[in-house]
C-alpha cells in the first residue's frame, strides 16, 4: 500500500464525536492525577494531640475533577480546647477567604494568603471564647501534584521525594532554636528567658513570659500575650509525576527522630503501616514522654500502590537558610516559581509574622453595596468601620481610598496587638 492510498484511507475515517473526545480527555486527566494514600498512628501521653483528614474536598461542589485533600495535626497544650476548635473551624475559615469561581491555578495562587487569613480568624474566634488553651497546627493541602503547607508551632511536615531527597516543608517556631522569632517577640513587648528555680541562672528551654510558652507562634494561648501570633509559615511545592511521601507529625516524633531517620524508617512500606513504624521507632528511641502522632501521605502515580523505596541522596535542599527571606519578589502573591530541586519545584514560601507582608494590597469592594470586605474575617463593612492594614492616612491622595487590604476594626485591633502597638490584654471580646 503506497502513501497515497494510506492518505485516502485516513481521509475516509469518520470524525470522532465530541463526546468521545471529552471522555478521552477525562480518562487521560484521571490517569495523570496522583493517587493519594494515607495512614495514621498515635500514642497518647496527655491526650492533647488531634489530627484531621478530609480526602474528598472539592473546589467546585459536585465536580470531582476539582477535588483536593487536607491533612492536619493539632498538638494542644494547657488542654484540648484550642486544638478541638481549630480542627472544627480552620478549614472553613481558610476556604471562605478564597474568592469564588477561581480556576485551579488562580485558586492555588490565592491559597497562601487564604491560609494566613484563616489561621488568624480562627485564633480571633477562639480567643473570644475566653479560654486559655493553645495548639500548634500543621495544615497540608494537596491538589494533584501541588502541596501547600501552613504551620505554627513545632509540629513538622517533611517531604521524602523521588531519589531519596528529604526536605522540610515547615519551620519550627521554638524560641530556643529560632533567633528571628526571639527578636520579634521581644520587639513586640514579650520577654524571653529560661525558668528560674531557686536563684539559678535558668533551666530548661527558652520561654516567653508571661506564660512560659516555649513557642513563638500558635493558635490560642490568650494568657501568654498577643506577641504569640497565629500567622503561619507557608510553603508551596509541586512534585513531579514520580510523586513523594509526606510525614506530618507532632513533636513527640521529632524530639525522638530526625527528619532523615523518620524517612528512612518507613521507606518501601504502605502508608498505613509506615505511620505505625515511625511511631514505634520514636517510642523505642525516646520512650513515651509526650503525645506522639504521625500522618503518612503518599502522593504517587496512578498505577502505583505504594511510594517506591529509594536510596538516600541529598537532604533538606528545600529548607531555606534564610527562614523569613522572600522568594523572588512576589512571595506574598505566590505566583512565580522560585527554584527547582531534583524533581520538586518550589512555587512559594513566606514566613513573616507581619500581616502587612502577607495579605497583599487589594481591598474587595462590593460595587452594589459599597461595602469593603475584611481581608481576615471576610466581614463586609463600610470604610468608616475599619482601616487599611498599612499605616498612614485613612484616605490616600490616590483615587483608591485604601493603601492596603481592608481590615475591620476587630481584626485591626488584633493586628496592632500582635505588633505590640497596644497594651497586651486578655481575651478579645466580641
Rounded distance between C-alpha atoms, residue 384 and residue 67, angstroms: 40
User: What are 349's strand-pairing partners?
Assistant: 235
Q: What is the pLDDT of residue 412?
A: 87
Residue 10 has pLDDT above 60, yes or no: no
Q: Which three cell numbers stand for residue 324?
A: 523569613
Write the pLDDT tens digit of every residue in 213-238: 999 999 999 888 889 999 999 999 99
Can you give the pTM of this predicted structure? 0.83
Please identify, among 305, 336, 357, the residue that sits at the C-terminal boundary of a domain. Answer: 357
Full domain range(s) for residue 273: 38-357
Number of domains in the chain: 2
- The confidence band for 425, taking pLDDT boundaries of 50, 70 and 90, is very low
**Are residues 141 and 213 located together in one domain of the fold?**
yes
Residue 159 has pLDDT above 80, yes or no: yes
Q: Do residues 135 and 78 touch, judged by C-beta distance below 8 A?
A: no
**Are residues 126 and 101 located together in one domain of the fold?**
yes
**Are residues 199 and 116 located together in one domain of the fold?**
yes
Q: Which three cell numbers stand for residue 362?
A: 487589594
Residue written as grid cell 494561648: 221
**Are residues 352 and 257 located together in one domain of the fold?**
yes
Query: 236 preceded by cis ω (within 30°)?
Result: no
Residue 104 CB-density burial (10 A; 0-12 exposed, 13-18 middle, 19+ buried): middle
Which helix (H) or strand (E) covers residue 30, if one does?
A: helix 18-32
Among 105, 102, 110, which Cα is nearest to 360's? Answer: 110
Cα atoms in the Cβ-side hemisphere of radius 13 Å centred on 373: 16
Please identify, among 335, 357, 379, the residue that sits at the C-terminal boundary of a domain. Answer: 357
32 in any annotated domain: no
Amino acid at each position: 500500500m503506497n502513501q497515497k492510498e494510506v492518505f485516502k484511507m485516513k481521509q475516509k475515517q469518520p470524525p470522532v464525536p465530541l463526546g468521545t473526545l471529552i471522555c478521552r480527555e477525562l480518562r487521560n486527566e484521571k490517569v495523570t492525577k496522583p493517587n493519594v494514600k494515607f495512614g495514621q498512628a498515635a500514642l497518647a501521653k496527655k491526650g492533647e494531640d488531634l489530627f484531621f483528614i478530609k480526602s474528598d474536598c472539592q473546589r467546585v461542589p459536585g465536580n470531582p475533577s476539582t477535588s483536593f485533600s487536607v491533612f492536619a495535626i493539632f498538638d494542644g497544650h494547657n488542654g484540648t480546647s484550642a486544638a478541638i476548635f481549630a480542627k472544627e473551624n480552620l478549614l472553613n475559615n481558610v476556604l471562605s477567604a478564597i474568592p469564588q469561581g477561581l480556576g485551579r491555578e488562580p485558586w492555588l495562587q490565592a491559597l497562601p494568603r487564604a491560609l494566613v487569613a484563616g489561621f488568624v480568624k480562627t485564633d480571633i474566634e477562639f480567643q473570644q471564647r475566653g479560654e486559655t488553651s493553645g495548639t500548634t497546627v500543621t495544615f497540608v493541602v494537596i491538589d494533584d501534584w501541588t502541596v501547600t503547607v501552613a504551620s505554627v508551632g513545632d509540629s513538622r511536615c517533611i517531604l521524602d521525594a523521588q531519589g531519596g531527597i528529604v526536605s522540610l516543608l515547615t519551620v519550627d517556631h521554638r524560641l530556643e532554636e529560632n533567633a528571628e522569632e526571639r527578636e520579634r517577640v521581644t520587639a513586640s513587648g514579650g520577654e524571653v528567658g529560661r525558668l528560674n528555680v531557686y536563684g539559678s541562672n535558668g533551666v530548661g528551654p527558652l520561654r516567653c513570659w508571661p506564660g512560659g510558652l516555649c513557642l513563638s507562634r500558635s493558635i490560642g494561648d490568650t494568657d501568654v500575650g498577643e506577641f504569640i501570633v497565629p500567622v503561619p509559615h507557608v510553603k508551596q511545592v509541586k512534585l513531579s509525576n514520580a510523586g513523594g511521601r509526606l510525614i506530618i507529625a507532632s513533636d513527640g516524633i521529632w524530639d525522638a527522630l530526625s527528619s532523615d531517620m523518620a524517612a528512612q524508617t518507613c521507606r518501601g512500606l504502605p502508608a498505613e503501616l509506615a505511620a505505625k513504624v515511625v511511631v514505634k521507632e520514636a517510642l523505642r528511641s525516646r520512650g513515651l514522654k509526650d503525645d506522639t502522632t504521625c500522618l503518612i501521605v503518599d502522593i504517587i502515580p496512578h498505577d502505583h500502590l505504594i511510594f517506591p523505596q529509594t536510596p538516600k541522596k541529598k537532604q533538606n535542599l528545600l529548607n531555606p537558610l534564610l527562614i523569613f527571606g522572600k522568594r523572588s519578589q512576589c512571595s506574598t502573591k505566590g505566583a512565580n516559581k522560585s527554584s527547582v530541586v531534583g524533581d520538586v519545584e518550589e512555587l512559594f514560601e513566606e514566613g513573616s509574622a507581619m500581616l502587612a507582608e502577607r495579605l497583599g494590597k487589594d481591598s474587595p469592594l462590593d460595587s452594589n453595596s459599597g461595602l469593603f470586605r475584611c481581608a481576615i474575617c471576610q466581614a463586609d463593612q463600610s470604610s468608616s468601620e475599619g482601616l487599611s492594614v498599612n499605616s498612614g492616612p485613612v484616605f490616600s491622595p490616590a483615587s483608591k481610598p485604601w493603601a492596603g487590604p481592608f481590615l475591620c476594626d476587630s481584626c485591626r485591633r488584633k493586628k496592632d496587638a500582635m505588633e505590640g502597638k497596644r497594651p497586651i490584654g486578655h481575651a478579645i471580646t466580641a
